[in-house]
Amino acid sequence: MSRKYFGTDGVRGLVGEGPINPEFMLKLGWSAGKVFAREGRGKVIIGKDTRISGYMFESALEAGLVAAGIDVSLLGPMPTPAIAYLTRTFHAQAGIVISASHNPYQDNGIKFFSSEGEKLPDAVETAIEQQIEEPMTTVESAQLGKVVRINDAAGRYIEFCKSTVPTYFNLRGKKIVVDCAHGATYHVAPAVFEELGAHVIAMGIEPNGLNINDGVGSTEPEALRQRVLAEQADLGIAFDGDGDRVLFVDHRGEVVDGDELLYIIACDQLRTRGSCAGVVGTLMSNLGFELALAELEIPFTRAKVGDRYVIEQMLARGWRLGGENSGHIICTDVTTTGDGIIAALKVLFAFVITGKTLHELKSGMQKFPQIMQNVRLARKFDINAAPGVSDAVAAAEKRLAGRGRVLLRPSGTEPVVRVMVEGEDRALVETLCGDLAQIVKRAVA
């Protein structure tokens, strides 16, 4: 059965349109509850980011789950990886995240974690979709689910994050700017770094329901860059709205992206453990990252874009490190999903223990210029079948002469096609990307 609602990262869209409305969320909560109830009365944890519509959808999901006879524990605003962790530690049947991650406040979405804190299996998502088509009923009053609020969720997760670094590690004497994107990490991330001894300058910590990811956070790091320079900080750390992505800014004001952070972590594993089994990147990973790992004799492979596919490759190969250049970094030696704070701690460990600046730590990797343009789609469209596009891609690849890449990729979360060109010559890359984007626009018009 092809899935109608679940995409690669749950259900996501504009609030009030399609399935992102209270009526659907009520039915989704009930349908998920009915599926989970097949294994006996269960418990589901619900957490959310800071966007205003989260309250509405939390209530709707809660009502649906309770009507199906499922107990509910509410976390309130919490990072997505925290919800995965707490789902495991509270031995819940599932965790539900209400978030649209790095998207603006007008969007929202739902994704599930299994009892192990991992992505819900496809078979379970399919069963939930099948249940949605059934008429909604309510269990007898004595069988209704109960609802509690977990008041110490933030403290539990803070302690977990700190436990992922050695007890001797500290950040004393380090000045760090932390940008929480007015999102789910606002009351967690600054505390983690402060409790480890850092002098933290926090920004993006005043969520009002409408300002999540607005001019701040990992998707817009310019504000952090300026603040790091103004404060003469050692470095800056930026999270996205739900806390599963992280980017850094070094003391010179240069942005350090996910590929460079993965490189730093892999190098540190090589230094401290004597080896790094391998790293999983994606189709968007920079060619310079791949070449830098090759010089260190660290195996590398590319997965499709999306943490689901990165984790699949990691499990298949038995590797413990993977991620995306967007800053979605997965370290399965300590957790089950992409976690911005834990990835940041791994980078900070290398930063402190080696005594090198962040700029020095990333210097072994030279990124190729990579230009990307988004072409918006008015409808679903098979870009590979578009007239003239394949020929244009072939022509661009010929001009790159084996020292670059071209990638056309429909987004899994937005109605756009991403046109990416990468190569050694920035001017050529910019020209080719612009030309290809125009050809794609005409093809999908």
| Catalytically annotated residue among 53, 99, 101, 115 | 101
Reduced 3-state DSSP string for 336-389:
CCCCHHHHHHHHHHHHHHHCCCHHHHHCCCCCCCEEEEEEECCCCCCHHHCCCH
Residue 16: is it exposed, middle or buried by C-beta count within 10 angstroms (0-12/13-18/19+)?
exposed
Residue 101 known to be catalytic: yes
370 phi and psi angles, rounded to 5 deg: -135, 115
Scanning the structure block, which residue is given the tokens 């925290």?
A: 82
d(CA 45, CA 34) in angstroms, rounded, equals: 15
Q: By C-alpha distance, which of 318, 120, 329, 322 is closest to 240? A: 329
Q: Could you tell me which of 162, 171, 204, 173 has the C-alpha nearest to residue 187?
A: 204
DSSP E strand stretches across 103-225: 107-114, 147-149, 175-179, 199-203
Q: Own/partner pairs for 135-139, CB < 8 Å, 24+ apart?
A: 136/26, 136/27, 136/30, 136/64, 136/67, 137/67, 138/67, 139/67, 139/68, 139/69
Which residue in the block uniquely carries the two structure tokens 């539990």?
156
Q: Where in the sequence numbering do the catalytic residues fall?
A: 101
